[in-house]
A and B are shown apart, each in its own frame.
Chain A
Amino acid sequence: MEQRKSPVRGSAAGQLSFPNSDSRSAPHNPQRPARFHLSGPPYLLSSFSGFSPAPVQPASLLPCFFSSLEGISPKTISNIGGLHQMLSLHQHIFAAVPRDSIIALPEHDSTNKYGASFQTPGGRLLIKPAEYVELVSSMKPDFWVTLADEVPAWVSDKRNRTSVDRTLRWLDDCLSLNKTGTTIFGSIVGGSSIEERHRCAQEVAQRNVSGYWIGGFGLGESMDERAALLTAVTDNLPEDMPRHVSGLGLPEEVLQGVAAGIDLFDSTYVYHLTLGGFALTFPLERNKGDNADYQLSDSGGDDMKINLKATIYRKDTSPIVESCNCFTCQNHTKAYLNHLFNVHEMLAQTLLEIHNTHQYLGFFCSIRKAIEEGKFEQFRRNFVESRRECLFAAASSD
């Protein structure tokens, strides 16, 4: 793999491009950089795109990493040629992020001045900046995020301040250890303190990085608090550099992030939905007042998703979503998926993940389109309000 020499350009032209890979062009809003979506944990992507018979829209990837790659050493990854080679996903962009919401959760109690601690299936792991940089260099991602001390919303002020200090120190460590000139995103933390968020963002903005990763979200804060915290960060960041957040997955959370100026998202939303047997059905071209066909809350669904395990789908020979172009909807019925889930067949997960990812990426497409047409705020309002209406209708029909 070649060295990444030029920085990422999140320019007003609305492109996020990386050397040696296809550029991702997208409609843009002059006030904001382009929006892209990064898909969830490694095996979320690997479990579908390695197998997706119909190509899903190019998405990128990949939170970490160390524990999911238990059983394979950095040296071997290097020998294979890095992540792109190993996973055979040459068209995709890979991001290395020190958090995997499924299998490598930040363990703030055990993190210390030497390194960040993670809870993984193989036990607790302490990663120091030097080890982290070495691991990342063997993977050769398109860009990577500096090691961060992420803390949940409820920690003490003192602990929160420490997390900012450490994260900044590790950022500098990672920058100085980075010999290969790869593309780096600086990590910004600060928990649920507006002041600390300001401070961290201002400090990171002064460093020589190519983009920003905003951590510490999706770890217990409420949506209401989050809006102010996000803006506290993005207000301090240069307009023309991409901003990436991990852990915001619900459509409303994504919309909130976009409104605050976030460009890249990764989360386990699709993974968890799929695990539960839920299929995304949100109408992407939604008009207020359209589509009053609300699902009963009995089956656990709502107007955005259905529970394919529910018995009402036993004989349903329609695809999950009529107009959906994904492999699953083009080839299979709800009845078949219902059967596969009920007999616990692996294929159920594979097919559903293809569909859910396709839908979710389509959602991001709609967001980009709305921005391009200058209608984002309206899009967001419509979306959130029709969700509220649906829940209200479902609740009052009981």
Chain B
Amino acid sequence: MALKFEVLGRFNRARAAQLTLPHYLCQTPLFMPVGTQGTIKGLTKNQLEEIGCQIILGNTYHLALRPTSELIDELGGLHKFMNWPRALLTDSGGFQMVSLLHLADITEKGVTFQSPVDGKPMLLTPEESIQIQNRIGADIIMALDDVVRTTITGPRIEEAMYRTLRWIDRCIAGIYVSEVWLNVICLGIYAIGGLAGGEDKDSFWRVVAQCTAALPEDKPRYVMGVGYPLDIVVCSALGADMYDCVYPTRTARFGTALVPEGVLKLKHQAMANDIRPIDPMCECMVCKNYTRAYIHCLVTKDAMGSQLLSYHNLYYMMKLSRDLHSSIVEGRFPEFVCKFLQTMFPKGDVPEWVCNAMEVAGIDISSCCREMRFDVDKSSTL
């Protein structure tokens, strides 16, 4: 089935759109929680629906290992296996192989790595990656990319780029169902760079800006591995549409809640007697029923602590997605961005990279910043 992507509203580079997939009608910008092994840690499908999850990401590498893509296929595909009625996206498996396993070699054929089961060398080709993903049966699958680390410079990057393009052609030849998405090299690089510190944010936004400017308007842009709410707002302003990250659920397991002001660390002693909800303005089940004090005492001792925080954090991310979509459609995106930044940086100390990115995105955030900075080198961005 052909994917349908219809832009419903814009503000400069930012877009709000409707993405029609076989299993669900999605609204972008959107955030996709990561359900690594066929589940989002500790949350039931009902809860995920309640929260407003539209697409869940499944990790091809983990699923191929257990319970295997053949078993999933035999039982009717991942949707049926998990009983998830909405959309699913699988990655190519390439990222895990680089980050989790000893990387033996990347050749034109594919990625050779050590099998985690018996240590023998295994080859993942673009075709094989597609076959595995086809068996899993997600709405969106990813082409295998020649994955490089951001720290590498020089001709290796160019080699990787061209190889990825050749692999994409091989991938497309191998599909029989679902939409295959191109993991464009710049986004692929960012996925490895991941959640780096502030100094990398400057390169990060520039890369995203360049890619969104160069890519066709009528197809969605998915920035893998993003991330922090602030990053999502900036990337949406620059024209990206989809995001995935383990951050909200992982940070929940460390006792951290996402709030409009930033984060709230439930493990802190100060929370022990605080009988307010995590966020008094939040409408989620957790904030409507539980206090910080109670979650504080659960957080290190009981799985329910991290379940409650995962629920709240994902609710926050879904709400952020909905707010981005509706503010663009309703023509109040700049106001939304300003309010978001004011809440997060009440003292006006908006980071420089955000100011620079918003400048390029054409959004006036002077009301949020103590001082404006004009040192953007306009020739390096489009």
Contacts and interface: CB of A to CB of B under 8 A. Distances in A.
Is the pairing of A and B real?
yes
Interface string B69-82: 00100111000011
Q: Which of B47, B71, B74, B297 has the largest count of A CB atoms less than 10 A from its CB?
A: B297
A69 B297 contact: yes
Contacts of B62: 343
Contacts of B43: 347
B37 interface: yes
Contacts of A68: 301
B45 interface: yes
A338 B75 CA distance: 13
B232 to A, nearest CB: 26
A44 B301 CA distance: 13
Interface stretch (A32-40, A79-87, A219-227, A254-262): A79-87
A333 B307 CA distance: 22
Interface stretch (B171-179, B285-293, B338-346): B285-293
A277 B46 CA distance: 22
Contacts of B83: 331-333, 336
B209 to A, nearest CB: 38
A63 to B, nearest CB: 15
Interface stretch (A46-54, A195-203, A241-249): A46-54
A327 B43 CA distance: 13
Nearest to A87: B294
B297 A72 contact: yes
B66 A79 contact: no
A395 interface: no
A346 B42 contact: yes
B249 to A, nearest CB: 11
B351 interface: no
B275 A51 contact: no
A340 interface: yes
B47 A51 contact: yes
Interface residues of A, number: 40
A43 interface: yes
B288 to A, nearest CB: 8
Given A315-B75, A327-B46, A71 B297 contact: yes
A335 interface: yes
Interface in B274-304: 275, 289-291, 293-294, 296-297, 300-304
Contacts of A51: 44, 47, 304, 307
Given A71-B272, A351-B44, A88 B289 contact: yes
A76 B295 CA distance: 13
Contact of A346 (B41, B293, B301): B41
Nearest to A345: B39
A349 B75 CA distance: 22
Q: Which of B43, B291, B302 has the largest count of A CB atoms less than 10 A from its CB?
A: B291
Interface residues of B, number: 38
A387 interface: no
Interface in A262-303: none
A317 B77 CA distance: 12
Given A47-B303, A336-B38, A345-B39, A315 B297 contact: no
Nearest to A338: B67
B182 to A, nearest CB: 30
Contacts of A380: none
Nearest to B296: A71
B56 to A, nearest CB: 13
Given A314-B67, A317-B75, A336-B82, A345 B37 contact: yes
A331 B45 contact: yes
Contacts of B303: 47, 346, 349-350
B304 A76 contact: no
Contact of A79 (B39, B71, B275, B307): B275
Contacts of B294: 72, 80, 86-87
Contacts of B296: 71-72
A347 B74 contact: no
B96 interface: no
Nearest to B40: A347
Interface string A57-81: 0000000000011111101100110
Interface in B55-71: 62, 66-67, 71
A327 B44 contact: yes
B210 interface: no
A72 B272 contact: yes
Contact of B75 (A75, A80, A335, A345): A335
B39 A340 contact: yes
A73 B273 CA distance: 8
Given A315-B74, A315-B75, A339-B38, A70 B301 contact: yes
Nearest to A339: B67
Contacts of A46: 302, 304
A139 to B, nearest CB: 12
A87 B291 CA distance: 9
B297 A50 contact: no
Contacts of B71: 314-315, 335
Interface string B294-332: 101100111110111000000000000000000000000
Interface in B242-296: 272-273, 275, 289-291, 293-294, 296
B158 to A, nearest CB: 39
Nearest to A328: B44
B51 to A, nearest CB: 12
A346 B37 contact: no
B49 to A, nearest CB: 9
A308 to B, nearest CB: 13
A376 B304 CA distance: 38
B272 A76 contact: yes
A342 interface: yes
Contacts of A79: 273, 275
Contacts of B290: 86, 88
A79 B294 CA distance: 12
A335 B81 contact: yes
Contacts of A314: 67, 71
A50 B38 contact: no
Nearest to B43: A347
Given A339-B37, A346-B41, 17 more contacts: A43-B302, A46-B302, A47-B303, A47-B304, A50-B289, A68-B301, A73-B272, A80-B294, A121-B301, A314-B67, A335-B67, A335-B71, A336-B83, A339-B38, A342-B67, A343-B66, A346-B306
7 nearest A-B residue pairs (beta carbon): A71-B297, A88-B289, A53-B46, A346-B42, A72-B297, A347-B39, A339-B67
24 contacts: A46-B304, A51-B44, A69-B297, A71-B296, A71-B300, A72-B294, A76-B293, A80-B294, A86-B290, A314-B71, A317-B75, A327-B44, A332-B83, A338-B67, A339-B67, A339-B81, A340-B39, A343-B62, A345-B39, A346-B307, A347-B39, A347-B44, A350-B303, A350-B307
Interface of A: 43, 46-47, 50-51, 53, 68-73, 75-76, 79-80, 86-88, 121, 314-315, 317, 327, 331-333, 335-336, 338-340, 342-343, 345-347, 349-351
